[in-house]
Amino acid sequence: MADAALTDIQTRDDCERLVRAFYGRALTDEVIGFLFTDVAKLDLEGHIPGITSFWETILLGAQSYSGGAFRPHAELNAKVRLRSGHFERWLILWRETVDEEFAGPNAELAKSHALRVARAFYSRLQTLPSAEDAPPPPGGGLQVIQHVTDFGAAKS
């Protein structure tokens, strides 16, 4: 239940506050944190302006975002298959963050748009290969090399 003292998302600063609060959770989350830190090796300070612009455009109509939001996810998926559980966890963290920080029509839009984006991205990613889908190297993926030594061998 939203706190009655919370205000709605109204400015770019509000969007940035939301994004920073979300990443404060996501980067340390036991389910999806590794995707940001170990796989994507996210430069948070470099990422914040762009993702803030994304949400400012969606929520406030600012037209400040000009990138493609799907491509970075496709690149990440090429390294590690993004699964439905990853998207579900992302949505839980996003909704909790929105509800703790804001209340109002734009806050509700932030949650509903996140759901639409998650569904669309997950659906599109299912058609793309990931590193996990690559065929194993010849020989079944495990190469066994036998080294012959005579350490400790009895001499005849």
Has residue 129 been placed in a domain?
A: yes
User: What total number of domains does the chain contain?
Assistant: 1
Residue 7 covered by a domain: no
Contacts 24+ apart (CB under 8 A), 11-16: 11/60, 12/52, 12/56, 12/60, 12/62, 12/64, 14/102, 15/52, 15/55, 15/56, 15/59, 15/60, 16/48, 16/52
- Residues of the domain holding 56: 12-133
Residue 53 domain flag: yes
Residue 35 lies in a domain: yes
The DSSP element (H or E) to which 118 belongs, if any, is: helix 105-125
CATH code, domain carrying 46: 1.10.490.10
With 0-12 / 13-18 / 19 or more C-beta atoms within 10 angstroms meaning exposed / middle / buried, residue 40 is: middle
Residue pLDDT tens, the chain, 156 long: 445 699 999 999 999 999 999 999 999 999 999 999 999 999 999 999 999 999 999 999 998 888 888 989 999 999 999 999 999 999 999 999 999 999 999 999 999 999 999 999 999 998 887 666 665 555 555 444 444 444 344 444
Q: Is residue 2 part of a domain?
A: no
Tell me the C-alpha distance between 88 and 12, whole Å.
26
**Does 152 reside within a domain?**
no
| pTM of this structure | 0.79
